[in-house]
Structure 1
Amino acid sequence: MADFNAAAPFQYRMLMPLLASGVGKVVPWLDADVIFAALEVAAWMALVFVALRGVEMFCPEVSPRLRWPLALTVLVPVAMHLIVPDFRFPSTFQNEAGTLGLGEWRAVRLFRYVYDLPAAVFTLATALMLVRFERRRDLSRFAAYLGVFALATLNRETAVFMIAAFFGVCRHSLSPKTLLMALAAQIAVFVAIYGGIVWLAPAMENPHASVGASEYENHLMHNLALFASPLYLLTYFARFSAGLYLPVLLLRQHLSPVLGRIVFWYGLPLLASAILFGRLVEQRVVVEVVPLIWLAAIQAITAWVARQHTPGSSPLPARNLARASDSGAHERKVQTAMDRSGSAAFVIMLMFLAFMAGAMVMQARAEPSVIIPDPYRALEALKL
Structure 2
Amino acid sequence: MSSTPSRPPIRRSTERALWWGCVVLLSIFLTTIQLAATKPYPLTDFDRVVYMQAVEPFQHRVLVPAAVRFIEHYIPIGHRLTFGLIEVTVWIILFALAERALRLFGVGQGEAKRRLLALSLAVPMAIVTLMPDLRVAPAFIIDRGRLELGEWHLQYLFYYPYDLPAAVFTLLLVLLIIAWSQRLTGPRLALICSIFTIATVNRETTMFLIPMAGLLLLPHQPWTTILKVLALLTILFVAVQLPLHWIFAANVNPHASLVGDLPYEQHWAQNLAQMSQPFYLLAQFVRLAGGCLLPVLLWWPYVDPRLKRALIGFVLPLGVIALFAGRLVEHRIFVEIAPLLWLAALCAIRGRVHQSTAVRVTAAADRQPSGAAISQAYSVHADPPESGDRNP
Q: TM-score, normalised by structure 1?
A: 0.77
What do the CA deviations read for 1:56-104 (whole angstroms, capped 9, x no partner)? 1002552211111101111100110111111111266444655541411
Tell me the alpha carbon deviations over residues 245-302 of structure 1, each in whole angstroms, 9 at most, x when there is no partner.
1211222222111111101110001111111111111111111111100011112222
C-alpha distance in structure 1 between counterparts of 2:149 and 2:107, whole Å: 51
Partner-residue secondary structure (3-state), 1:62: coil
The answer as to 2:158 corresponding to 1:104 is no
Give the superposition deviation at 1:203. 5.4
**Preserved CA contact (<8 Å) 1:6 1:203:** no
User: Match of 2:267?
Assistant: 219
> Aligned equivalents of 1:13 and 1:309: distance in 2?
48
2:206 counterpart residue number: 159
What pairs with 1:1-384 in structure 2 (closer than 5 Å)?
1-27=49-75, 29-59=76-106, 62-90=109-137, 93-95=140-142, 99-109=148-158, 112-201=159-248, 204-212=251-259, 213-310=261-358, 311=361
Compared CA separation, residues 183 and 91, structure 1 to 2 (3 A): farther
- Find the residue that maps to 1:247 and give its secondary structure: helix
Distance in 1, matches of 2:336 and 2:133, equals: 18
CA contact (8 A) 1:61 1:306 kept: no
Q: Given the superposition, is the C-alpha separation of residues 37 and 253 from structure 1 closer, same or farther in structure 2, using an over 3 Å criterion?
A: same
Question: Greater shift after overlay, 45-54 or 89-98?
Answer: 89-98
Q: Tell me how large the CA RMSD over aligned residues is.
A: 1.9
Q: Is the 8 A contact 1:91 1:228 kept in 2?
A: no
- 1:195 Cα deviation after fit: 1.2
SS of the equivalent of 1:10 reads coil
Which secondary structure does the structure 1 equivalent of 2:333 belong to?
Answer: helix
Q: Distance in 2 between matches of 1:131 and 1:232?
A: 36
| 1:264 aligned partner, one-letter code | I
In structure 1, stretches of 5+ residues that fail to align are 313-384
Gap runs ≥5 in structure 2: 1-48, 363-392
- 2: distance between equivalents of 1:301 and 1:100? 35
Say if 1:50 and 1:125, in contact at 8 Å, map to a contact too.
Answer: yes
Q: CA deviation at 1:200?
A: 2.2
What secondary structure does 2:134 align onto? strand
What TM-score does the superposition give when structure 2 sets the normalisation length? 0.75
Aligned residue for 1:125, secondary structure, equals helix
More deviation, 54-63/80-89: 54-63
Deviations 1:346-373 (A, max 9, x none): xxxxxxxxxxxxxxxxxxxxxxxxxxxx
Percent of aligned pairs with the same amino acid: 35
Secondary structure in 2 aligned to 1:104? Answer: strand
1: CA distance, partners of 2:280 / 2:108: 39
Distance in 2 separating the partners of 1:96 and 1:114: 43
Does the 8 A contact of 2:107 with 2:350 survive in 1?
Answer: no
Aligned residue in 2 for 1:341 = none
Structure 2 letter corresponding to 1:101: G
